[in-house]
Amino acid sequence: MMIIAGTPKQVIARLRVLLQETRPGILAFWGNDGTVTNEDARTCIRLLGQEVMPAMREIGKELGLNSPFEVDAPVHLKYSTDLKRMPQAAE
């Protein structure tokens, strides 16, 4: 499942399995690649935005997956408020 392609219904079904099995914090989409017409590229992007991504949001809610932005996750351990400081190694 490194590359998922197909109709929105097929893509959503495969991505549901991916979300259930891997439970990612962030999921990125690549709209299209290769030699496609401008019209086909726009159709792909439109279907992603109108059908696939809203379904992914709903599936994420069903599975209790939260965006790092929703849970206020630190972007670096330095900014974490719930971790103990580890002693520094001697230089």
Mean pLDDT of 16-25: 92
79 DSSP assignment: G
The predicted pLDDT at position 75 comes to 66
pTM for this prediction: 0.71
pLDDT tens for 38-73 read 999 999 999 999 999 999 999 999 999 887 777 766
| Cα angle 83, 85, 88; round to 5 | 145
Identify which of 33, 54, 55 has the alpha carbon closest to the alpha carbon of residue 44. 33
Q: Give the pLDDT band of residue 33 (cuts 50, 70, 90).
A: confident
The predicted pLDDT at position 53 comes to 94
pLDDT tens for 71-84 read 766 667 777 776 67
